[in-house]
Amino acid sequence: MASNQQILLEAQAVLARLRDGQEASRAFAKKSLLGRRLKRLCVTDAAIILAAFIIGFIHPLGISGIILTFAALVLGSILAPLTLPLPRPVKIENLQKQSLKQLPSQAASWLSAQKQALPPPARPLAESILDKLSHLSSVTEKLPEDDPTATQMRKLVSEEMPELVKGYVEIPVNLRTQKRAGLDSPDSQLATGLDVINQALGRIEEELAHHDLDKLATQQRFLELKYKTES
């Protein structure tokens, strides 16, 4: 049987993996945008320096030229990252073509672009779905494409969720709050559908983390029995 110290270390490692996975997935979008901004900054500064070098090769820049080059570098460093265009959300028809690794982030990008068209009751559900997709971004990297859970997630976020939201958006605004023929209003139907998707993603997230969660629970139970028995 493993020593108490080994068990504690393994339990801490499981907790760290779960915590790091969540933190990494939450920071995924921010890091991606930061990387693109840094790339734009480097390209802009390199272009300014190259232009100054070419001009200086043809005609000496002098003090005024050096000052202008420095000012251009400062101005370019400020404006280049700010003028970076936001990434366009993927189209619905292209969601199914995304790799499993890219699917959660691309589906989140698409849903984020639809939030303004959603009714207020549905927006917290959309935020919860976005949060779960962020968590799944790090988990799906290790998941094979033919895994049953992966297949279920792909169908849910690339087919059923877009179909639900698109169907709602296509309804005239003045009819979205109205009930008809004993049915709930489109606003209510959308919120109910998003709630189902949110819960399904939660179950998928738990299923993917099932092994680590079971291992942690077993170790915690062993420690509890071990030390409570000895005390």
Residue 206: per-residue pLDDT: 84
Residue 176: per-residue pLDDT: 92
Residue 84: per-residue pLDDT: 58
HSE (CB half, 13 Å, CA atoms) of 9?
Answer: 5
Q: Are 187 and 180 in contact (CB under 8 A)?
A: no
Which tokens hold the place of 69?
A: 């080059």
Give pTM, 2 decimals.
0.59
Ranges 36-45, 46-55, 137-146: which has the least confidence: 36-45
Dihedral sign (CA 104, 105, 106, 108) = positive
Q: What is the pLDDT of residues 172-220, one digit of tens each?
A: 999 999 988 888 999 999 999 999 999 999 998 888 877 667 778 888 8
Q: What is the pLDDT of residues 60-69, one digit of tens each?
A: 777 877 788 7
Kindly tell me if the per-residue pLDDT of 125 is higher than 90: yes
